[in-house]
Chain A
Amino acid sequence: MIIFRQQHRVLVQGITGKQGTFWTEKMMACGTKVVAGVNPKRAGEMHLGVPIFVTAGAAMAQAPYDVAVMFVPPSMAKDAALDAIGAGVKLLVCLTEHIPAQDVMAMHRAAQRAGTRIVGPNTAGLVTPGEGFVGIMPGHNTNVFRPGSVGVVSRSGSLGTLVALNLTRAGIGQSAFIGIGGDPMIGTTTRDALQALDEDARTAAVVLVGEIGGAMEEKAAEYASGMAKPVVAFIAGRASPPGKKMGHAGAIVTGSAGSYASKRKALEDAGVIVVDTPRQIPEALAARLAAASGASTRAAARAHG
């Protein structure tokens, strides 16, 4: 469960804070079913029309939910995550950036034991245009997101927004946006997201938005080589100097590992079209989709002939 759906019930941890309130309102306006919130100091009250509970565990008993989204500062993130995982949440969307690595490892281990899927940390969230969103993406902005059949995977929220905007301006709607996060230790990798979109009946093609650092794009390329759906990729960081963390803790090139060249080659070898600027994504995608539909029309003609 990586793609967000309208029927998913959502718990917001840290719902009463400034950002929690701002984004919960946006999520609800977009159709997201927010059923409860967490704030130990305000348990028993209502906020934005939903009940507040002392813990995610207490919320699960009275207002069951499928997805928990965390608006929680780094020092409290591990406890909040373990609370939601312990409550049996299926999908945990962790927006928090700068969580200590020891805590992140503990979160991933607990999630692995409980069978919880973590998206993030440091993700901008999940958007399914026409259904709703969880996180801090402009999922409510129809200039950016429109329903359609192209899935988008992105480490970055800001760049992911630009890519969705470019698709929408070109008349290409999106089946799902999966923000996986800019951290080096994330629960859902590029490959995981790619597979989810490959298996999703509503997705006809995928845009993969990667970054320098790590080996996630290379691993995604292994999966992409076996995909029938067209994949177009843009990798950010070609002009970034090696040995420096480029804002995202995960975006750092050390030695030859994680370099732009390595990622581009792996993806191109797997049949993925890699473009030089975000504006080229819709063009490349349109060309690939036209070719794919031409091929399937020809195949159908052969089958019938």
Chain B
Amino acid sequence: MNFEEHAAKAKVLVPAGVKVPRGQLCGSVTEAGAAFAAIGPCVVKAQVPTGKRGKAGGIRKADSAAEAAAVAGAILGMTIDGYPVESVLVEERAAIAREFYAAVVTDFADRRPLVLFSTEGGMDIEEVATRQPDAVRRRPVEIDGAFGAEEARAMLAGLDLGAAEPQVAAVLAALYAICRERDAELIEINPLALLADGRIVALDCKFTLDDAAIFRQRELAAAGAREKLTPLERRGAEAGLKFIQLDGNVGVLANGAGLTMTTMDVIRHCGGQPANFLEIGGEAYTKAETALDLVLSGAGVKSLVINFCGAFARTDVMADGVVKAWEKLKPKIPVFFSIHGTGEEEAVKLVRERLGIEPYDFMEDAVRAAVEAAQ
């Protein structure tokens, strides 16, 4: 789950003791104008959970209340990377001496948290790492060890941060604490600014909450950004199903992520295009009825492949859900089945007797038939 900048700052950075510029979240032109009165020369920033705000023109300066209102007016109503801008952060603009980069990420390949720091802040860190690998310091942390100010100072040694070093070290230690305590998949400050007056402040912040930890971060998760979903995808999410709408016309219903991706691959291999990703693996195998409803609601679905290969998921339970949904919705499109694994005999019997359809022995044959029917 991603967070917008203002929420990442207010809910994550500030409680951890990291300083941020004074700012006000505004949902209208009037509010932005009024915010200027309190804040003075400012930056008006689109609040959307994507890194493409600057390039899209979603971050602009303002030197008067009228300008703040005008700039806010231009930004509110923009759509950036598919996200409609519904609010702006009006934030004080201070003189910047240097810009750094600081982050803690979950290093999946290494299975440890990784602290990152660079004196080359304000730019795309991956570009910096490619161009100047030495400019990014990396320190993996053992999860049963510690990363505090002392470890942070060791990491910063030789970077000539001068009087700012203790403050920067404190920020790194705070980011590590956020990673551990707030279940951060990513916590990133870019840029972390050294101001002309000597203060260290976070000018921007990205925070990604581990989706698997939402159950124990409920209060925090309530401040997270809504995912960019189509109305149908949202319906799927609300039903606890992972549903992704695609451009093709062959609908897919399969159990398990691997088998579902494979079904899509074989559709493409046979010259067709999948209309969706939707898997009902794990505990979701009992939701076949809802799932089928979703697939059939997608515009442009001309045929359907139902590919079950039961391991944990029982094909008889899934087939029962499909048959019920089919009898209720009475769709006009052709459907092609392949059913194997746990519960196979009962599942095949159900489909044969209730729908009058004979499943294919090989999924490739079911897919080919569906692709031909869709053309």
A residues adjacent to B (C-beta < 8 A): 19, 74-75, 97-102, 104-106, 108-110, 124, 136-138, 141, 143-144, 154-162, 165, 182, 184-185, 209, 211-212, 214-215, 234, 236-241, 244-251, 276-279
Q: Indicate if B201 sits at the interface (CB-CB under 8 A).
A: no
Whether B242 lies near A247 (C-beta < 8 A) is yes
**What CA separation (Å) do A110 and B310 show in the bound complex?**
33
Whether A277 lies near B212 (C-beta < 8 A) is no
Whether B311 lies near A240 (C-beta < 8 A) is no
**What CA separation (Å) do A56 and B53 show in the bound complex?**
51
Residues of A within 8 A of B265 (CB): 236-239, 276-277
Whether B260 lies near A277 (C-beta < 8 A) is no
- CB of B195 to closest CB in A, whole Å: 33
Using known A-B contacts A75-B215, A143-B344, determine if residue A212 contacts B261 with beta carbons closer than 8 Å: yes
- CB of B83 to closest CB in A, whole Å: 14
Excluding A75-B216, A105-B143, A277-B266, 10 further A-B contacts by CB distance (< 8 Å) are A100-B212, A105-B112, A143-B340, A157-B258, A165-B340, A185-B108, A212-B261, A214-B109, A240-B261, A246-B277
Most chain-B Cβ atoms within 10 A of its Cβ — which of A237, A240, A241, A279? A240
Whether A108 lies near B111 (C-beta < 8 A) is yes
Q: Which of these binds chain A: B24-32, B148-156, B249-257?
A: B249-257
Using known A-B contacts A215-B109, A239-B267, A247-B279, determine if residue A161 contacts B310 with beta carbons closer than 8 Å: yes
Whether A158 lies near B259 (C-beta < 8 A) is yes
**What CA separation (Å) do A161 and B340 show in the bound complex?**
9
**What CA separation (Å) do A220 and B363 show in the bound complex?**
28
SS of B interface (majority): mixed
In the A-B complex, the 6 residue pairs with the smallest Cβ-Cβ separation, listed nearest first, are A156-B258, A158-B256, A247-B257, A159-B258, A158-B259, A136-B312
**What CA separation (Å) do A137 and B258 show in the bound complex?**
14
- CB of A24 to closest CB in B, whole Å: 14
SS of A interface (majority): loop
Whether A162 lies near B344 (C-beta < 8 A) is no
**What CA separation (Å) do A248 and B344 show in the bound complex?**
24
The listed residue (B183, B260, B341) touching A144 by CB distance below 8 A is B341
B344 and chain A: residue at smallest CB distance = A143
Whether B311 lies near A101 (C-beta < 8 A) is no
The listed residue (A101, A108, A156, A184) touching B256 by CB distance below 8 A is A156
Q: Indicate if B67 sits at the interface (CB-CB under 8 A).
A: no
- CB of B151 to closest CB in A, whole Å: 17
Residues of A within 8 A of B179 (CB): 102
- CB of A188 to closest CB in B, whole Å: 12
Whether B274 lies near A157 (C-beta < 8 A) is no
**What CA separation (Å) do A245 and B113 show in the bound complex?**
21
The listed residue (B183, B268, B363) touching A238 by CB distance below 8 A is B268
7 pairs from A and B in contact (CB 8 Å cutoff) = A105-B143, A158-B257, A158-B341, A159-B258, A159-B261, A162-B340, A247-B256
Residues of A within 8 A of B108 (CB): 184-185, 214, 250
Residues of B within 8 A of A124 (CB): 311-312
Whether A138 lies near B310 (C-beta < 8 A) is yes
Most chain-B Cβ atoms within 10 A of its Cβ — which of A124, A161, A234? A161
A97 and chain B: residue at smallest CB distance = B282
**What CA separation (Å) do A106 and B215 show in the bound complex?**
18
Whether B257 lies near A99 (C-beta < 8 A) is no
A19 and chain B: residue at smallest CB distance = B312
**What CA separation (Å) do A143 and B343 show in the bound complex?**
12
Residues of B within 8 A of A97 (CB): 282
Q: Indicate if B230 sits at the interface (CB-CB under 8 A).
A: no
Residues of B within 8 A of A161 (CB): 309-311, 340-341
Whether B311 lies near A157 (C-beta < 8 A) is yes
